[in-house]
Structure 1
Amino acid sequence: MNTNTQWDVNKALTLASLFHFLYGAGNACTIPFLTLYFRQLGLTAPLVGIIIGLKHLVTSLWAPLCSYLAKTHNKRKVLISGSLLCSIGASLLLTVVPPLSKDIVYKYCNVSQHPHQLLMANQMPDVSVNNPSTMGISPASDDKTLSSTESLGMISKDLVTTGKPMYVTFKISSTINIPSVINGVNDGGTGIQQVTDVPPGVTSDASGKEVSPKGQMLQTAFVNRSVKPTSSPTTDIMNIKEKFEENGSSERNTNFTFYTAPVPLTETVYVFRNLSGRWERAQDVSSQLLQGTDFLDSEHQVFLMVLGAVVLWELLAAPLGWMVEDSLYEYLDFVDAAEKYGNLWIWSYLGASVGVCSVAIFVDQLSCFLSSNIPRFAVHFYGYAMLLTLTLIVSVFFPIHVSRKNEHVNKTVKALNLIGSDGRTILSAVTVFLTGAIGSTVQNFLFWQMQDQGSNELYMGLSVAIGLIAEILLYIFKSKLLKALSGGGTVALSLSCLAAQLLYYSFLWNTWAVLPIQIFCAFSNGALWWAVNMLADDIATPGTERSLHLVLQGLSCGCGASLGSFAGGFVVKSFGLAVLYRACSITLILWLILFLIVQSKLPRQKRINYSRLLAADSSDMSDSDDDKERDWLVKAMKDENFSRNW
């Protein structure tokens, strides 16, 4: 904004509020769900932890440096617009990373329609049509024996009627010569038939043609004609197994491949084809894209692609928040309205609440794949791109204050010196570092825990929104809370609430169980930072308040979150999510005890900021003789623990 124009504070605050709302909504479309996407791509917990840890590390180092360079060269306006535009393109790069297998996408995509299916998959990873009860189909009564054809018809009819996705396991041999195409089930009629659901584009015969243009069908493979038909497919499988063991020939060394493909059935088309060991032609798209690098396995190839895309995205997007906040604060401070800056985070939280719930509701209505190779999770990135495009339009009119003098004082170094000079602030810094490390495990893997219980994305979005709204509501009582408990007492309450949350997370029992405990986020996050910032203000010198807050946030959201992500992924792989949350809860309880003991031994040294007090309203100062004892100058002269700073 040109410095010669009229300063319109109300217009600037309106634009800033709209910017924060749209930018918060855009980030909420993707950031909370990122680790879910990485899980669908086939990455393990340690690899996900490394990616998120580097993401936090890049933010904490690059964002303040880039913001400082933009300020010194007066290029904030250009860099804000460029950062918004480039971050849109960088985020869309993640949508082209191929998953390790489509089966993994189907597995996690449909878990919300089958509660506890993911937990059972660890013990019984494949659900076969040989056990109709697993698909909600009642088994045949004892007084009626169904033939293979009747069983197939009953199963397919029930599946079409119920419309439930079908998880079936089919087994294909690469060495057995399966007989030619059979036009009927009982034409000589010996063999075992299995129902398979084949994804679109998968080939199964020697000619390489698709099984069906609709991509949904049932196939019958007669594996061994010497086996007589029995009353149930389960008995047929046992007979084939016994036959293989008796022969002891090359059939014993036959290699079998198991596939699981959950696809909702709306129509059933009976197609009987000859599966002559050519199934290897049906390769996943990911394996075709990753054939060039033989020195790495597929998982690490996907990991490197995701890591590169995330680091590039963070390099482009991380400085945006710092530049916007610095520019807006300097603008409001220049027009003596800096006190209004502290309430803009509410609009960001409201935007995030709307964004996270809206995208979750929309995604839950979609199929697992938008097209043959694009999973529905790409909608999260499309929503992010759309909202940031609107934010880019608003940023054109965003107020930018261009300072005519360069400030050479390094406020960050000064803030670090202030933190190191006071024992209570050191204690607060260690606390936020620890809570940042432990809180990162919640941000990274809580949705994994919910997904394992069969939760869909709507419950995940609601869990985020409830925590944000609760923090906004508690803000109304911020002054009363801090006055009643003091800074140290509020920190102790926050640590207790966070420990209770983590312990609760380790015992989740159904899809919605996480929602009630999210109210505690108002204390474990909001109240914690209000208390820490109040303690930091006690030692701040004029002009260093905001620098102190940023340094403490960097310790928590940067260094702490990075270390917690690195360590959390390996703990999840070795011990599981429940153990991770219980260990974090115990750690917080131990630190709470130590915090209370150390705090009681430290003297409180509050610095009087005279420039801030002199700027206060004269109505706050009393001239009566009875109120002279409450005058700030009298307090400063009488209290030996107070130090004075001009």
Structure 2
Amino acid sequence: MLKHGAMHKNKQWNVKGAMRLADAFHFLHSCGSGCLLPFLTLFFRHLGLTPTMTGLIMASKHLLALVWRPISSVLARQYDKRRTVIVGSLVSSALVVLILLLFPSAGLEGESGRCNASQPSPSPTQNIVQFTTLHISPQFNATVYSVERTADVTEQPNEDNTEYTPTHATSNTTRSVRGVRSLKKSSHQHEENPRAEFLGSLKVMDAQHQMFFLVLIVIGFWEFTAVPLEWTTDDGLHEYFDFIDATDRHRGVKVWKHLGAAVGSAGVGILVTSLFCLTGTMAEFYSYSVLMLLTVPAAAFLPLYLRKRERPTRGVFKALQVVHGNSQALLGAVTVVLTGMTSSAVSDFLLWQMQDHDATEFHMGVSLALANIAQVCFTPLNGRLVRFLKYHGWLLVLAVVSLSLQCLYYSFLWGPWAVIPAQILAGFGTGALWWSVASQCEDVATPGTEKTVLRLFEALSLELGAGLGSLTSGFVVQKFGVKVLFQGTAVILALWSVVVLTLLKWKIPRQRRINYSRLLADASEMSESESDQEKDWMETALEGSRQNNKWTIDKP
């Protein structure tokens, strides 16, 4: 009977099957995210939004995730609704994101020449710009302009020097279009048109600002539905593998996340480039939605486990106390915030820079995939590199330096494929950064708080730092351009690497003695002292016994 019960228990906790489900779930979800998230700011550019508007939207997205992600994770655990939250997040995010396809472009389609390149043109320097008014719906009848190129019109210079102007092949047409468009829009502002109202309070805004607020609302709602998934899934899987004593295997899902993101970015890049003249960028959104829905069956069978006892609610506060009470942890926290700002600036405007140098979605997708693959390839090398450096803090300095060189390289792009060396370096820098941060968390965290401290660092980088970086980079690109953004970021990271190197040199000798040499010495000294104390006590007791016995015998 006991044997049958043991066999039934072993069959119930199928570790290999659970790992396959977890790997499949993370691969499909990351593949879907890779199809859309890296290209999102490029879509905002297609809608005609300025860099400042793009930065504000992305900053709002990150800051919303900073607040809502931990709250949703706690609520899902408290009410035992993890699987419902995961499945609901997949389905709702797949449907909400399609709302963005209802918005027509409020700006210029610089890529329109890709479909007309095969058609003969009497003169490449003669173009005509025609504006058409598009009515979206009876509720939103904003004036939106599209561009059609024909012959026999001389280009006019752009009079608005404050607006960011791309430098791709159609920049001359862009300047002519903006000059005429500004006159067209200024004339419409003086007209009384009750149908141009948007929710009443937005009637005084032009089409571009109306589009900005519409996109901001949709992105906020989309982030609200999508953001609970990651931490809720991670908590459920971690508790399951912890219950069956297989926590180390759960760490392997990170590899499948990177592989899924690489496949999604490269695949959608090829798909969009092949079907651009038929579907434009719609393939990115439909690919995301389809893959999110395909992830639902894997989510429905995920091995989630809920413990009987509740997790202490002071976990976050304990993590904050640990980081605040350790100078090295504070240095790491500031570093991850700065690197998070850098990563968001790169992810928001790198594709703009590539598009300005005639790159298509194919070039972009392949370059993004190489960064993820490079990060996977770095994982087996991190242990050897740390043993060579003799301290994981030096790896943090190398990560900051590599990110600085990466940004400097981005500012001097000259062609579609020129970005590849920097992407490989980006994979190395990102992998080194998070391996060093994870090692630091193990050093400073108290037992049971390692995961919470690591999540605190992730939130500081991926949400707080990313939000600040998107907000700042949008204003910088609007005022100075993408090239100045990357060069300024490279200088800031280079200076910070010098600061980190100086502080670590001051802290490392004492830290190394505590972690290695002194720890072994203390252990050996303690064992020797304990044996000596025991020996002294025994000898004293025996000698005292002998003296007492001798005194007793000799007394008579």
TM-score by length of 1: 0.67
Q: 2:47 aligns with which of 35, 41, 44?
A: 41
- 1:232-631 mapped onto 2 (5 Å cutoff): 292=198, 293-368=202-277, 370=279, 376-485=280-389, 486-602=391-507, 604-605=510-511
Report the counterpart of residue 168 of structure 1 in structure 2: 127
Residues 637 and 66 of structure 1, relative CA distance in 2, 3 Å threshold:
farther
1:110 CA displacement: 3.5
Distance 1:597 1:369 in 2: 56
1:474 CA displacement: 1.3
2:90 paired with 1:84? yes
Distance 2:377 2:150 in 1: 55
Report the counterpart of residue 186 of structure 2 in structure 1: none
Residues 508 and 258 of structure 1, relative CA distance in 2, 3 Å threshold:
closer
Q: 548-557 vs 91-100, which deviates more?
A: 91-100
After superposition, what is the alpha-carbon deviation per residue over 1:318-373, rounded to whole angstroms, capped at 9, x for unaligned? Answer: 01011011111111011100011111111111111111111111111124453xxx
1:168 CA displacement: 2.7
The gaps in structure 2 that reach 5 residues or longer are 1-8, 136-147, 156-174, 179-192, 529-556
Distance 2:395 2:225 in 1: 36
1:379 CA displacement: 1.2
Q: Kindly indicate whether the alpha-carbon contact (under 8 Å) linking 1:112 and 1:456 is maintained by their aligned counterparts in 2.
A: no
2:229 partner letter: L
Find runs of 4+ consecutive structure 1 residues off by over 4 angstroms.
111-114, 198-201, 216-219, 257-260, 287-293, 603-609, 627-632, 635-638
Q: 2:523 aligns with which of 614, 619, 633?
A: 633
Report the counterpart of residue 100 of structure 1 in structure 2: 106
Residues 217 and 314 of structure 1, relative CA distance in 2, 3 Å threshold:
closer
- 1:105-184 mapped onto 2 (5 Å cutoff): 105=109, 107-110=110-113, 132=123, 134=124, 168-169=127-128
SS in 1 for 2:227: helix
1:14 partner letter: R
Distance 2:223 2:303 in 1: 24
1:536 CA displacement: 1.6
Residues 410 and 510 of structure 1, relative CA distance in 2, 3 Å threshold:
same
Distance 1:454 1:40 in 2: 15
2:90 paired with 1:57? no
1:409 CA displacement: 4.0
Distance 2:270 2:194 in 1: 33
Distance 1:112 1:531 in 2: 47
After superposition, what is the alpha-carbon deviation per residue over 1:156-187, rounded to whole angstroms, capped at 9, x for unaligned? Answer: xxxxxxxxxxx831589xxxxxxxxxxxxxxx
RMSD: 3.4
Q: 464-473 vs 29-38, which deviates more?
A: 464-473
1:410 CA displacement: 1.9
Q: Kindly indicate whether the alpha-carbon contact (under 8 Å) linking 2:31 and 2:263 is maintained by their aligned counterparts in 1.
A: yes
1:10 CA displacement: 0.8
1:534 CA displacement: 0.5
After superposition, what is the alpha-carbon deviation per residue over 1:486-535, rounded to whole angstroms, capped at 9, x for unaligned? Answer: 21111111111111110110011111100122111232101111011101
Residues 333 and 109 of structure 1, relative CA distance in 2, 3 Å threshold:
farther
The number of residues matched between the two structures is 468
1:438 CA displacement: 1.5
Residues 399 and 453 of structure 1, relative CA distance in 2, 3 Å threshold:
same
1:600 CA displacement: 1.8
Structure with the largest fraction of helix: 2
Distance 2:149 2:341 in 1: 49
Distance 1:628 1:507 in 2: 49
TM-score by length of 2: 0.78
Distance 2:523 2:272 in 1: 61
Residues 516 and 56 of structure 1, relative CA distance in 2, 3 Å threshold:
same
SS in 2 for 1:602: helix
Q: Kindly indicate whether the alpha-carbon contact (under 8 Å) linking 2:129 and 2:150 is maintained by their aligned counterparts in 1.
A: no
Distance 1:565 1:414 in 2: 29
Distance 1:571 1:426 in 2: 28
Distance 2:526 2:504 in 1: 23
Report the counterpart of residue 204 of structure 1 in structure 2: none
Q: Kindly indicate whether the alpha-carbon contact (under 8 Å) linking 2:92 and 2:225 is maintained by their aligned counterparts in 1.
A: yes
After superposition, what is the alpha-carbon deviation per residue over 1:544-598, rounded to whole angstroms, capped at 9, x for unaligned? Answer: 1111110000000111110010010000011111111111100011111111111
Q: Kindly indicate whether the alpha-carbon contact (under 8 Å) linking 2:238 and 2:250 is maintained by their aligned counterparts in 1.
A: yes
What percent of counterpart residues are identical?
36
Q: Kindly indicate whether the alpha-carbon contact (under 8 Å) linking 2:97 and 2:218 is maintained by their aligned counterparts in 1.
A: yes
